[in-house]
Structure 1
Amino acid sequence: MSAVAAPPSPYKGLAPFDDSELDALLFFGREREIEVIVANLMASRLTVLFGASGVGKTSLLQAGVAHRLRREQNAVVVVFSAWTGDAVANLLDAVEVAAGGDAGALRRGGPLADVLAAWTRRLDTELYIVLDQFEEYFLYHENEHGPGTLAEELPEALRRAGLRVNFLIGIREDALASLDAFKARIPNLFGNSLRVDRLERSAARAAILGPLDRYNELVPAGEGVEAQPELVEAVLDEVAAGRVDLGLSGRGGVGEEDSDRIEAPYLQLVLERLWEVETSRGSNRLRLETLRELGGAAHIVEDHLERAMAALSPDEKDAAAAMYNHLVTPSGMKIAHRAGDLAGYASIGEAETQHVLQRLVEERIVRAAENGAEGPRYEIFHDVLAEAVLAWRTEHEAERKLEAEREAAGRRHRRLLALAIGALVLIAILGAIAVYALVQRGDARSQAHRARGRELAARALTSAPVDPEQAVRDAVEATRYERSPAVANVLRATLLGMRVKAVLPAGGKPVGDVDFSPDGKLLVVAGGDGLARIYRASDGKHLRDLRHGSALSASVFSPDGTKIATAGDDSAARLWDAKSGALLHVLRHGGPVTSASFSRDGRLLATTSDDKTARIWDVSSGRQLQRLEHPGGVWSASFSGDGELLVTTLVPAAFDRTARVWDVASGRLVERLQRPDRMTVARFAPTGPLVVTAGLGHVAQVWNARSGRQVHPLIGHSSGIEDAEFSASDRQIVTASTDESARVWDTATGGLVGVLTGAQNFVLRATFSPDGQWVATTSRDRVARIYEPNGTLRVTLVGHRDSVTHVAFSADGTSIATASADGTARLWDPRVQPDLVPLGTQRGNEVAAVAFSQDGRRVVSAGTNGTVRVWRVGVPGHAVATLRPRSRVTAVAISGDGRRSATAGPDGSVQVRDVSSGRSVSVIHDVGAVRALALSLRGRQLAVIGKDGRAHLWDVDGQQSLRTVGDKVHAVSFSADGGRLVTAGSDAIARIWDVKSGKPVTPPLAGHHDLLTSASFSHDGRYVVTTSRDHDARVWDARTGRRIWTLAGSFAQINSAAFSSDDRWVVTAGPAATGIWDMETGRRLLAVNGRDHPLTAVALSPQGWRIAAGGFGGTVKTYDCRLCGNIDDLVSVARQRLAHLRH
């Protein structure tokens, strides 16, 4: 030890520990991991070591594993991570250096396996090759293949029998799935895999005090340094996993906050800073007071990059920002470049690039990764800085953009101010110029104001995918500065993206569970603070608390919704009355209760506990019926659908490989379902005897619990499986894995239905919607996602600040609840598109037409049988008036204002009636056979489409025929003023006619490819919208006949369309949804689901933006499009929704 000089500091900061005598002396806290890894590397041809980014793999491998292996006799150790260039050649160079040049005389020709075999024979040695930072191999050699490449040579070396070379692959956990590229060529690729976790608290304490002791041994007596015990504990508290986050969104980063796990790089960075400050003051003690003075650990970590960047000049910052864009991938992975390449990418001079890189090296933001013949490559200093660098660059560019806009506005202001001063000097003769200057100065201020609004709007769009709530706040703020349609559209877009309905506080500690009542009206949230909180599911209103008294692991409603079971760390489960909150029974265990689940009929409750038992209770009496003994703590229990069997699993720490199946009536163990690896989950299908099990291995199994026979394996994951469950129909199974995916399987065959990708960290839970149409997943990346079972990602639920750990659908599938380690639950709208809300039903016939009253309070619908009904908006169920036909009808219509209806009979007559009174307004005889009818807005003009395919026009009040227009007419509509008529033809052409003259007023509106189903004017008469069997709607200029927009995106026939009262929106109906389209852009704002039957008619209210639609099923439905309003309406909606999120 005396041969080693004392270092300037015993702490490394963000620098990795090297394979050196000094660093090995200072490396503490990983002693157990070193021995395990060394044993595996020496015993196995391939070891895969993985862990989260920044967990300290490189330090562990260099100062720990490599240094430990060098003690072995007759062993050569290589730690290799130079992945740019020729990987095989670089690896052989590294082996040659490690062998001390003894291999230099040997040839290198031929495959890697041959070269290594020759070298190990010549040297008579064991060779241990550590391939560190292997994720970077895929970054630089993504599509590599063929002879001479590592993609071919490494599998061959591993397959070579008798080769005295063992390999270890060190790789980031979020890149583990990339190793699938080798799976076909490396047998049992993951058979010997080890995970490096974050430091345990005791190990982290050793990492603080151990280096300090070593340092004190190396310095002269009296120069030692000590650390206050209270400082040690405070630092450990403040760098616990999840407490510090440098990134943009938590992408692939820290999981749930865990005071027993410590972030090693942040620990070293904080200690290094404390050492710098204390020793610069001449102090020989690391003190808590200094930590507080520096703002605590989080501030020290955050300040590292900020202090470094603040030391740069503005031009140097711009250069750094330009280079950062090429040193970090969008997913947060480091990438190395030479200075010349960075200069070219960033469009700056090479000399300037070298200067800035040197400054960044000095500040330990970047480092020289290699020093080859072409010069060093530079990369970000440490993985944990990668996302921080991206965040800094984004903020810097936004500030520079704002600064540029302000400077431009300032220049305009100064220029105009000078003009104003000159005008004052010559005020007598240049008064007009002074006025002009003042106006221009106001314009400059207005432009600066608008620039601020545009900046906020741009920031809102940028942040919407990662922070929807902040995006809405930014968009609302933007409306204070800029009230343009563009800003309004940004606010609409952010509101559409913010799917959270309510944030539900749960005591600030990780939430243990969420569950909806069977009717979907209530939600219970299991808090880590000992309270189960009951919320109203419609709006998140807090109703009552169930005071369990200790951290909760579960809270679940009984199947009939009358009771709630809670399970907690106080060695008890409790049964509560769901309505009153009264405590019914306390169900005692001898240790923390880990789960609670009801049988399907609600008569029984199963609880599991660390006391090595599962217990079955009678719900009505609280009496224990069975006590099921296990060899370790029990983690979960699941009843079979008939309640006769129960399957249990042990806690993960037990490393048990068995799921146990019990007979509920007798308590007898009937089957053991064995896995080759640790069991993590076992669940029964809702009906029948099937059980799905999963564990640390990559394969889930489906079993017949009664026979104990494995039905089939579910093969496809590349890492451990955290969750598995059946759909309600039993037809599908979903599994969630640490390989950052979920998968859906066919229960009957075991075949893969879909792979659910997109998560940036472990997928923790997965569950089906009640109807099986959707799958929800949760992840450590703080995001919940909604997929179709085939793997199509439909909705991303962003907003939690830590891992999302649980998820539940409401019974009707219209709400989702999530639980998180951030101490909250959230209510979300998971629907890809909202639903039309039923108002009433035209029983026995399809809806042929709908219209609103002028005040927008009533909807008038007409069925194909001629029955007209009036419905009150917002009061579903019963018509307030019904107008029945006096004879059989062949066609029906309603006026645009809903006041008149027209019906055609088989006798060739048309009767027009007043809807409110039912009295006959007019009867027009001898019109012939009628195919369709249309009334004008006020019902004073009538168009009759006869069997001849022509439109016959009538004056209703005068009962006079006006004229006949067109041919091949399928549908017809009047303009609001009654002066024009548009016909929709079976020849796919629409035509606009002058009612008075009967002549066409524009060229034919041609462009559709099939029969037209409708045509309608805008309220101001400037536009026409047509719909067709060709699946499209089109908007036309009613004066020129020019096509304005094609509204495409439907998968079948569109039957009807209408304009909003302000002509800002077009709404289409059919086949099964209404589409709401923006007239300014031609883009669809959203689709509103009609669900049951094709839609045939649509109308919009004259007051507001309510939609009414009807179709084949006879049901009239409505939807209030609150996002269709003006900018003030949108701000009001945004503020209301944001108010629900305060907690």
Structure 2
Amino acid sequence: MPRGEIPLDPDGGPLFEFAARLRKLREQAGSPTYRDLARDAHYSIASLSSAAAGRQLPSLAVTLAYVRVCGGDEREWKLIWQRTADACTSACTGQGTSAETGPEDRRSGGAKPPYVGLAAFGEADAGVFFGREKLTGTLVEHLKEKRLLVLFGASGSGKSSVLRAGVLPAFPGVSSLVFTPAPHPLEECAVRLAARAGADPGQVRDGLTAEPPTFHRLVRRILAREQEAGSTADELLVVVDQFEEVFTVCRDPRERERFLAALLHAAQAPDSRTRVAIAVRSDFYTHCTRLPGLVDVLPHAHHPVGPMTVEELRAAIVKPAARSRLTVESALLTSLTADAHGRPGALPLLSHALLETWSRRRGNALTLAGYRAAGGFEGALAQTAEAFHHALGDSGRQAARRLFLRLVALGEGTEDTKRRVPRQELDDGPDTEFVLEQATRARLLTVDGDHVEIAHEALIRCWPRLGDWLEEDRDQERLRRALTEATTLWESLDHDPDILYRGVRLAAAKDLPRQALTTRERAFLDAGESAARQTQRREGRRLRRLRRLVGALVVLLVCAVAAAGFAVQAQSTITRQRNEAVILRAADEAVRLSPSNPSLAVPIALAAYRQAPQSRTRDALLSTLSIASTDPRPTGYTPAVTADGRTLAMADQSEIVLWDLSDPRQLRRLGAIDTREFALNGIEFTPHGDTLVGVGSDHVLRLWDVRDPRRPTLLCKRPTGHTEAVYSLALRHDGRLAATSGYDDVLHLWDITDPARPRRLDSLVGHTANVKPVAFSPDGRTLASGSDDRTIRVWDVTDPRHATPVAVLKGHRHFVDALAYSPDGRTLLSGSDDHTAKLWDISDLPRHRRLSDLVRHADIVAGVAFASHGRTAVTVGVDGGVNVWDVTDPARPAPLAHLTNPRGTVKEVRHLAAHGLFLTVTAHRSVQIWHTELDRALTDVCDRFHGTLTRAQWSRHFPRVDYSPPCPHRT
């Protein structure tokens, strides 16, 4: 006879009711033994019997397994479990439910969380700042020895936190000053120094502008004043956080240089009493090298912030919890470290996920179930932002969109960054106040005195809705940003009428939606319109006087016949030049319109080209056609295309989606692969397209059978052997050999002849820094690899078990980011951080030579590709350019087209052999199909875009140009 269950404790609260319902469900199923239940549920007898014991809440997985074998409704029991978990958390924390208790208080029970979420750690958080002890010690020793520190790190790497919560507390006897540059760094610096020194901010700013030593003298004055008040500090530690703002929001190069000169002089003066620590995002390193004063000290002052090790991540997760007498479930610890390890910019996401998991804790335990309920690693932040947005009404959502767009500094060759905005720049309406309050409560925004900013730039990357807003409103937001600056200047000069917009600028600003503007900005535009009407009336009076004068001079008409002929010719020239300017402006406008309104943008670009067929209108037409060519639009970070160009795979943080590319204009979704447990850094199809190979952030090689793309199946997964992040992979033309590259400076070769049993063959060592792009030659005999050591290495892989180096190609002045072989294998194309792409002759290895440079990008060249016929090459970059080159003679390449992507940075490029097109992926995960041959693109443009320009649209975009629609049969 099976032993009976222990009676339930009627005082067990929500656990009693939960366990009683489980037992009743088992009775309704015929009271099977727990041995029988364990056999069918695949959980131990102890796990299932404990679930109904009423002593603790079982996990959701165990609960659903129990319910499943007893024939219960899993969806109903999932809700029951969630309600019980919430009730248990309420009981364990002793939280109240009074009307005065806010939503955050109701979740936390009034307890202070041990994690700070998106916000940076401050000095007050030093007690819960763990994991960066080694880095903190290194930075403290550096500052004690050298007085100047420039800290570089990716967004989200913890630069601000280590300086505020790590370095500052390590100087207990030193006074400190922490600030961010803002749009006017000299003014911001002057305000902070003047407040401490008891001086006038205007005089301090004038002094800093006139001579850099003013900063040094003010520091001495501040220290003397504080010592008189009883302080023992004899030095000032200045922390300039988010230094990249001197490039993103400061528009005055002279003010930027003066600000830097003041900081450097204060740190380098012989009797210096100042130590300076600057935190700057690593993607602004190139910008820093353009400042003469800073580039001289960088070799001895800079220090990088890399990702945290596994041990450091464990400390950052477990020790703050231990301080608050909390425990971290081992499964949760494993999942968090796996998600965060090796990922740049992961720390704010980790901290926010921990904060949300803490608010869903069970008793004093942080659990994997709470982590998953919060949305996981990146989903927690997006879930918090979506919950905030969902709770707003329609007017509140519109206000939220306007507010968040104002708080983002749009990237110019770099990723978008957060922007610190004065409170007076925002509208004073009730919707704005309510949204600001709710976003601050949700910890998405921070309010510091009279300024508002996004809590962390991770929100820009991880909230899809904000990314969509930026994609849709990018051009309008640039206009709004310029309007805001003009309004501020107008107000500061006591409404000087000379500052008002006129002509084209006023017309462009008037097209902005009125509801998207603040009261101040609307007043500025109204004043501009009023001034324009006054000017128009003055011009009308002047014109009438001229007409009367002409009437008086009619008698001289006969004498002026010859002059009239000249005037007619001059008028014709002026009209032609005016029309050309109008047409070129319309072509540029078409490119800007193409992401949001392709049905209007394409006819405008086509009309501009037919009115003035030249390179600029041709490029605009190709750009517009390409951007508007794909529906639906795939998204993702990492692409792969089959050799025949008919199937596309796009990978992002949660899945790989397979698309049918048979018709690039109308893509069809075929199937998907769930990748939520890992992030993929590179994927490739085997030549026949039947197998997909990928490498992930967890250093694992995976192969999927995609012969039926609607039902892909995992064939196997193998550890790659890389000790650092895996960057990319490449496959040989026969599909039997693969190569992986990583940040451990090593390449690995793999035999994937049997996709279910890949074998590692050899490890290639020679690079002295991160190995990034890899590419096999068309004949499969050589492998090329690019590295952060600024070289390209070519390896002989004829015998992949014993690969040997053949040649080292040198010439790039910065990191090598992209490689591609020409179809005949005689030429290699490389792209680099030095803003160039280079063509190399490798037809007679080991002899090689650089053939030519492709110089047309304004920033990093992130991707390169050849067309299958080998006569055309494409380079793409961070500047958003898609450049097409004629490389028939690689020693003398010629530019064919310069296409523009309004969505910004272009990261990847692939050739679609079946269609003669190119596919690119932007930093915002959008995919475009690019036409590079004008004649081919023009063949069916009118049939593809069913519409033309009405007379009203023509008058708006081609004012005073004779109406000539591009597709007249559709008028």
TM-score (norm 1): 0.43
Higher strand share: 1
TM-score (norm 2): 0.49
Higher RCO (CA < 8 A, seq sep 6+): 2
Higher helix share: 2
Greater Rg by CA: 1
